Amino acid sequence: MATSRVGQAMDAVHRVGFLPADQRQHGDLDVPLPIGWGQTNSQPTTVRQMLELLDVRPGDRVLDVGAGSGWTTALLAWLTGPTGQVVGVERVPGLVEFGAANLARADLPWASLQQARAGVLGDPDHAPYDRILVSAGARTLPEQLVAQLVPGGVVVAPVAGRMLRAVRPRSGGAPEVEEHGWYRFVPLVSDPPADPAASPADRG
């Protein structure tokens, strides 16, 4: 059986390069791993499932919300290829620094990771995007992010514990939404944790 493009991306962009030094020995484990500030590098199985649902194509413009360690941003960049563009946004300043440094080492110059603007969800100033990945849990499907998609664009996000795949309609109306499994993630909108040792939650 041929390996999927997502599988190829995960083989090419090794998780270990996006982990703190004291966690790299555990990089092959299929579990979330702590990266500080109460956040984790997400379980590889969860990341694979989300990326399969997102169905990124070469040349896509992609937004990575809750970019964390930068791993998902780098995986998305591998999937878009150099003709695409990936923007990661992260609320926790310490993780912005950590994730941006990890991403720089991955040598994917069409991808970037930056500080999320206070009170702003996503990246409306540079929308629209073809795909949006959300690695944080929302109570309801974030309409602000759906509005940042091109017509026919896709957002994948955990909402109320379920993984949703929503497609913005090409001719107006409500998005087409599918549910896929149960997951646990850090809340989508929250103040950055002040304590790097706070209790962990799933993240990119």
The domain spans of the chain are 5-13+32-182
The label of the residue with tokens 């995007």 reads 129
Half-sphere exposure of 89 (CA within 13 A, CB side): 21
Over the stretch 4-56, which tens digit does the pLDDT of each residue have?
Answer: 999 999 999 999 999 999 999 999 999 999 999 888 899 999 999 999 999 99
Contact 202/46 with Cβ under 8 angstroms?
Answer: yes
pLDDT tens digits, one per residue of 60-79? 999 999 999 999 999 999 99
The answer to whether the beta carbons of residues 130 and 61 sit under 8 Å apart is yes
Q: What is the average pLDDT across 131-154?
A: 92
Q: Decide if pLDDT at 189 tops 80.
A: no
SS3 at position 63:
strand
The residue among 94, 88, 90, 45 whose CA lies nearest residue 189 is: 90
Closest to 92 measured CA to CA, from 68, 70, 111: 68
Active site residue 42: yes
Pairing mode, strands 85-90 and 111-115: parallel
- The pLDDT score that the predictor gives to residue 82 is 98
Confidence of residue 191 (pLDDT cuts 50, 70, 90): very low
Quickly state the pLDDT bin for 203 (edges 50, 70, 90): low
Give residues with Cβ within 8 angstroms of 162, minimum separation 6. 179, 180, 181, 182, 183
Q: Of residues 4, 42, 112, 190, which has the active-site annotation?
A: 42
> CATH number of the domain at 5-13+32-182, please?
3.40.50.150
Q: What is the pTM of this model?
A: 0.89
